[in-house]
Structure 1
């Protein structure tokens, strides 16, 4: 069992104890310090301290006993992972479609956490006192692409700070039904839980109301496919690049649907299956059928860039399009462009 000893200087007197200790023990968050105090794992000199709100005493020495990490509740599972990068602090993987990040009702097994507990066995130092990977962001179960997890508490704290400050570069590729007008721009509209369906998110139509959390998505069309109607230039579908400033639940799916370009295959925000496309012939049938049959939201986390929270090295990782999206795009490219 490791013990940290921290001595309070004159200028520290009067500071709340959990705040003071967390500022000195960089590997521990304030919530973790608070939990340790309540568990009786913190002592002032030789006397246990049980109140995290207690004021720091000048010249006192505080001892924090760090128990060995307890086994995580999810069970490790030997699930193949496509690892893009790994060191003693971090691991980045290319998540496949169908893999949930966390165990939850309907997905208690086969999750990324289960896989990481097996893959990183013996190299997890304990996040919040539990032997588990530190997940600081998520992508939907049916979304593919780059995801980072921490293996140590200092790395977890550092990653969390980067995400909170939005010091992360994130680019997604999406295939949409139709295309937004204009073909590039920014959606800066807050997102909140839908009042009509608590399982959905929605754009807050009155940003001045203070409801919801700010959400910013920059988008641009990389390629458009076919046309909606004869004699128009409106695309039937598009390959979009979306860059996030914020990371709200379902952000891209909600924002793109709001500007009239929902993701192909999106079961929640797509409203209609398939695409509206003018044309005829085998190529037209193949393209529209591919869109109609696509089994998930056509969304891929293509790139993740950040400064390593421990080594301070600039990192940037890309994941190629999964086969199903590549095949969808290939079929859409065959759509006729009208007469």
Structure 2
């Protein structure tokens, strides 16, 4: 449900939602959960009790059971307590980079190396640790995200400073004039395909899936799902792990993770596509077991948007590259005993060749 008004600062997020005809006579807690589906009913009830949910024309605090009516507006305020969007690993907050590294900036565009766990823009309970919120607090105006990275995925992200630039870059995406390269670490399972290979399994969201939002894959010749294509190149294979690059041709949600997993390479740390999606639910509910942590090994999926090629800011092609994040570099060196600098050199060499898919 779209809000009619919203206000962001580093300390507070306020959003106002209209009550439509279909929502008339809903309980307040049901209405707010419909507006904010990523938050639990219990969490929202506490916000209502604290007076952080206000029905227009009525004096808060309200009861969760009070009914909302067509034409009213409901305003939800969330304060940044430093806890609402933190991630836990073994019961402790995951360290995070509060300031994203800027790769390129001019008067119209900023290109960043998005840290892991930073959202592209606010969603669900993640309202403050977001790229658009961070830069809007600096520039004091709306920032436009032309594409997105999953919360746990790090790497190159483009943010436009104005609508004109946003439209120009969106047109480049739509005309298939933007190329991306992702770095990843994955487990190699029995029967996995041999590198290099191109994955063309179709994919689509299953609305009845548990957990909600999981993407399903279908054979290339299936009538189900939507077309999807990713090219995979190997950098190194060691101890049943692979270090590789992915070049997405299409841009489906979770595309690289799904294509890698269904071809025998589930990503290291991927809680959703590791063969047991219940692990994702347990982490989400903060009840992950020691076995879950051991299976994941690291707090997030080992996926990094390492490079992006685009015709900007002039008619000449520009290549933006995001160095490997510290967490993945440390895992390579401490677990696989592989020098991260040697991997970086391989990536730079591969990107410097005439690859038709980049």
Normalising by structure 2, we get a TM-score of 0.59
133, 143, 166: which one pairs with 1:114?
A: 133
Structure 2 residue corresponding to 1:301, chosen from 305, 310, 324: 305
- Partner of residue 326, structure 2: 323
Cα distance in 2 between the residues matched to 1:208 and 1:325: 36
Pick aligned residue for 2:120 from 87, 101, 104: 101
Q: Report deviation, 1:77.
A: 3.3
| 1:79-228 superposed matches below 5 A | 80-121=99-140, 131-178=141-188, 180-194=192-206, 195-197=208-210, 198-205=212-219, 207-209=221-223, 211-226=224-239
Aligned partner of 2:265 among 244, 261, 268 = 261
CA deviation after TM superposition for structure 1 residue 93, in Å: 0.4
State yes or no: 1:333 paired with 2:336.
Answer: yes
- Any unmatched runs of 5+ in structure 2? 12-97, 278-292, 339-358
CA distance, structure 2, for counterparts of residue 168 and residue 291 of structure 1: 35
1:207 Cα deviation from its structure 2 partner: 4.0
1: distance between equivalents of 2:334 and 2:195? 21
CA distance in 1 between partners of 2:294 and 2:222 (Å): 41
Residue 42 of structure 1 is matched in structure 2 by none
1:77 aligned residue (10, 26, 42): 10
User: How do 1:32-43 residues align onto structure 2 when only pairs under 5 Å count?
Assistant: none
CA contact under 8 A between 1:190 and 1:215: conserved in structure 2? yes
Report Cα offsets for 1:206-247 as digits up to 9, x if no partner: 6441x4332110001100112xxxxxxxxx110010011111
Tell me: CA distance 1:76–1:312, structure 2 relative to 1, closer, same or farther (3 Å): farther
| Alignment match, 1:53 | none
Contact 2:202 2:222 survives alignment (8 Å):
no
Query: How far apart are residue 334 of structure 1 and its match?
Result: 4.1
Q: Distance in 1 between matches of 2:262 and 2:121?
A: 28
- Provide the TM-score with structure 1 as the length reference: 0.63
Give secondary structure in 2 for the equivalent of 1:107.
coil
Query: Is 2:256 the partner of 1:237?
Result: no
* Cα distance in 1 for residues equivalent to 2:294 and 2:246: 22
Distance in 1 (alpha carbons) for counterparts of 2:152 and 2:198: 25
How far apart are the structure 2 equivalents of 1:290 and 1:82? Answer: 30
Residues paired across the two proteins, number? 230
Aligned position for 1:312: 315
Is residue 261–residue 274 contact of structure 2 (8 Å, CA) maintained in 1? Answer: yes
Question: Is contact 2:188-2:265 (8 Å) kept?
Answer: yes
Q: What SS is found at the alignment partner of 2:6?
A: coil
Say whether the 8 Å CA contact 2:270–2:296 is kept in structure 1: no
Contact 1:174 1:299 in 2 (8 A): yes
Give 5+ residue unaligned stretches, structure 1.
1-71, 122-130, 227-235, 274-288
